[in-house]
Structure 1
Amino acid sequence: MSLAPPLKFPVHIPFVEELGLELHAMAEGQAELQVDLRQAHLNSWEVAHGGVLMTLLDVAMAHAARSIHADQPGFGPGVVTVEMKTSFMRPGEGRLRAVGRLLHRSTTMAFCEGSVLGEDGKLCAHATGTFKYLKALPGRGRQLKTLRSAQD
């Protein structure tokens, strides 16, 4: 587990910031996130809610997909999740670590996998996901919304 201070996310993602996710690595088709579980992250069993684990996986895989564009301004195009399949193995407790890996890419798509490890280093959840590279996203009224960098 990384003891270095977290990196700054290359884009502004309010939901990720609200959850307290930290970016610890993003390079060469890989990314690592960490989070200290708080009361708000827990389900009725008092372990990490599946939505927290899925968000960790989604964000780790998306950043792994974007990491290959590190030489481009703002890490190049953004990505949106097209599909994601998640399997849960054991409860997440304590400080969680998510690792995302880019498995294959084309000009417009990225195919990734991710794992969430518990404080004990054991696998809590695993996912595969498909992401689409986009420069802008059609929003309400079909207006294009541009990617917000962390500096905006």
Structure 2
Amino acid sequence: MDSPFLGMLGVELVELRQDWCVLELEVHPRHCNRRGTLHGGMISALLDAGCVYAAITLNDESALAGGATVMLSVNFTSEAQSGTRIRVEALVERRGRGITFCSGRLLGPEGDLIAASHCAVKVYRAPE
């Protein structure tokens, strides 16, 4: 994974292909709030990262230069405890000229929905 931030958090890139990204994380106490559940900021960061990776991936061999989130909406539906493994699945819904629209789901170990997101990503193309 080429992101120092995600590497520091322990995020694993599981699958990456055109319009699709899967990330996983083993939840540790450092990822949690005072109640011992996954922090909302971590949930948002994971969904954001999954959506950006999906948005900038064109196919198995190429990627766009990068992307930046211009809008992120997260609905929190459940919680994840320390010691569980969670999974982000992110999908491109539509590509525009400069903005790509994505959705993401954060799932618990049994596939239960923890949070869902909608994201708009400004895509940067590599100079020709």
TM-score w.r.t. length of structure 1: 0.77
Q: CA deviation at 1:71?
A: 3.9
1:15 aligns with 2:5: yes
- For 2:69 and 2:106, how far apart are their aligned partners in 1? 18
2:79 to 71, 75, 91: 91
Q: When the two structures are aligned, how many residues end up with a matched partner?
A: 124
Identity of aligned residues (%): 27
Residue of 101, 104, 123 corresponding to 1:114: 104
Alignment map for 1:23-62 (pairs within 5 Å):
23-62=13-52
Q: Which has the larger radius of gyration?
A: 1
User: Who is 1:125 aligned against?
Assistant: 115
Structure 1 position 81 matched with structure 2 position 69: yes
Secondary structure at 2:41 match in 1: helix
TM-score (norm 2): 0.91
In the superposition, relative to structure 1, how do residues 70 and 133 fare at CA in structure 2: closer, same or farther (>3 Å)? Answer: farther
Shift of 1:69: 4.9
107 and 71 in structure 1: CA distance in 2 versus 1, 3 angstrom threshold:
farther
Equivalent AA in structure 2 for residue 43 of structure 1: N
Q: Deviations over 1:58-104 (max 9, x none)?
A: 011111111225443xx122000001000000002310000000000
Structure 2 alignment gaps of length 5 or more = none
CA contact (8 A) 1:33 1:98 kept: yes
Instruction: Provide the secondary structure at the position in 2 that maps to 1:56.
Output: helix
For the residue of structure 2 that corresponds to 1:34, the secondary structure is strand
Gaps of 5+ in 1: 1-8, 137-152
